[in-house]
């Protein structure tokens, strides 16, 4: 999927919400979507990081973004309803939702995994995604076509020792994507998942501290799949699990 070439105006007039937009892959995805014409809503827990991304988008002359600070570890159903009301008032619809924010947690044997840690990771990596999707589906249905992207991982598709709560949460994310995709099949909204593959970010460095980051793809290099699945070239894709670093297998 690394050689998909998005048209410069692929996302013109689209309103796209990106979670975890302050850093790593989410930051690059937000800037890339804006560069392709989207108005992006930057959601994250660290306001100063969101403001830096906002400033960069504005400085490049891309459509003015919106900032939505929210900590997914403590967010309530009321917060998601409030978020939906704000988006409704400002834009009246939502064309894309990239669920990207996640916690890694500790790499440890399942036998020793503290249950509070599993609860925290399920809250941020799974429950928050469902609660946000529930609140935003009416707005996604207001768009002529809409794309929901979930972020998975290699360990969300095949279990691996020590990946603990993170792997469990990513399997749950894949399952949620598949169930949702089946429920919305044939409608104007579609849902798919992306496994970014090893990518040069803070999360990757904390999982693999001894690794040379220069051997990894940058977030920028994996953007072709993020663009393909968010834009209208992928209207026929629903319920599929994609890998950002594999050669393209675009189905027709
Ligand atoms: P980073 O840790 O670099 O960035 C994660 C982002 O999520 C940060 O902006 C962070 O905010 C935000 N975030 C974390 N917790 C919360 C929270 N409670 N509320 C709101 N925002 C939160 O991770 P990556 O960019 O590497 O990962 C992005 C996605 O890709 C994740 O879903 C990850 O699981 C997945 N992935 C990454 C791989 C990789 O090699 N990098 C490989 C496979 C999957 P803040 O900046 O404030 O901490």
How many CA atoms lie within 13 Å of 221's alpha carbon, on the beta-carbon side? Answer: 13
pLDDT of 150 = 98
Q: Please calculate the CA angle 125-127-133 and round it to the nearest 5 degrees.
A: 100
Domain contains 50: yes
**Residue 151, H or E segment:** strand 146-151
Domain contains 24: yes
Domain contains 3: no
- pLDDT tens across the length of the chain (252 residues): 668 999 999 999 999 999 999 999 999 999 999 999 999 999 999 999 999 999 999 999 999 999 999 999 999 999 999 999 999 999 999 999 999 999 999 999 999 999 999 999 999 999 999 999 999 999 999 999 999 999 999 999 999 999 999 999 999 999 999 999 999 999 999 999 999 999 999 999 999 999 999 999 999 999 999 999 999 999 999 999 999 998 655 444
Spatial distance between the Cα atoms of 71 and 75, rounded to a whole number of angstroms: 6
User: Two tokens at 232?
Assistant: 């209208």
Q: Residue 179 Cα, ligand 1 centroid: separation in angstroms?
A: 23
Domain contains 155: yes
Domain contains 250: no
Domain contains 249: no
Domain contains 7: no
CB of 114 closer than 8 Å to CB of 34: no
Q: What is the CATH number of the domain that holds 109?
A: 3.40.50.720
Spatial distance between the Cα atoms of 91 and 227, rounded to a whole number of angstroms: 21
Give the model confidence (pLDDT) of 149-195 as tens digits.
999 999 999 999 999 999 999 999 999 999 999 999 999 999 999 99
Spatial distance between the Cα atoms of 122 and 103, rounded to a whole number of angstroms: 9
Q: What is the mean pLDDT of the chain?
A: 96
Q: Residue 99 Cα, ligand 1 centroid: separation in angstroms?
A: 10
Give the model confidence (pLDDT) of 28-49 as tens digits.
999 999 999 999 999 999 999 9
Domain holding 207, by residue range, is 15-243
Domain contains 59: yes
Q: How many domains does the chain have?
A: 1
The position carrying tokens 């999927």 is 1
SS3 102: coil
Q: What is the ipTM of this complex?
A: 0.99
Taking the chain, what is the end-to-end CA distance rounded to the nearest angstrom? 14
- Looking from the CA of residue 25, the nearest atom of ligand 1 is 25
Spatial distance between the Cα atoms of 245 and 247, rounded to a whole number of angstroms: 7
- Mutation probe of ligand 1 site: the residue of 17, 20, 244 with most atoms within 8 A of C-beta: 20
Q: In the sheet that 96-99 helps form, which strands lie side by side, from edge to edge?
A: 66-69, 39-44, 15-19, 96-99, 146-151, 189-195, 241-243
């Amino acid at each position: 999927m690394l050689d998909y070439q998005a048209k410069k105006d692929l996302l013109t007039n689209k309103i796209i919400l990106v979670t975890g937009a302050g850093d790593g892959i989410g930051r690059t995805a937000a800037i890339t979507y804006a560069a392709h014409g989207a108005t992006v809503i930057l959601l994250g827990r660290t306001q100063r990081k969101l403001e830096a991304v906002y400033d960069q988008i504005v400085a490049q002359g891309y459509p003015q973004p919106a900032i939505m600070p929210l900590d997914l570890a403590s967010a309530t159903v009321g917060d998601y309803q409030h978020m939906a009301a704000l988006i409704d008032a400002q834009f009246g619809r939502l064309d894309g939702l990239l669920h990207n924010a996640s916690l890694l947690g500790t790499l440890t044997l399942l036998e020793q995994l503290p249950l509070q840690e599993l609860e925290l990771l399920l809250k941020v990596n799974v429950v928050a995604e469902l609660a946000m999707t529930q609140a935003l589906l009416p707005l996604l249905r207001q768009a002529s076509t809409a794309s929901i992207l979930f972020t998975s991982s290699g360990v969300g598709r095949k279990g691996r020792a020590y990946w603990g709560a993170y792997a469990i949460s990513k399997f749950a994310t894949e399952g949620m994507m598949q169930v949702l995709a089946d429920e919305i099949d044939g409608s104007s909204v579609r849902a798919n998942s992306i496994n970014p593959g090893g990518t040069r970010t803070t999360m990757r460095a904390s999982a693999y501290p001894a690794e040379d980051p220069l051997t990894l793809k940058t977030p920028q290099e994996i953007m072709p799949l993020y663009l393909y699945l968010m834009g209208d070239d992928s209207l026929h894709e629903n319920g599929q699990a994609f890998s950002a670093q594999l050669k393209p297998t675009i189905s027709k």
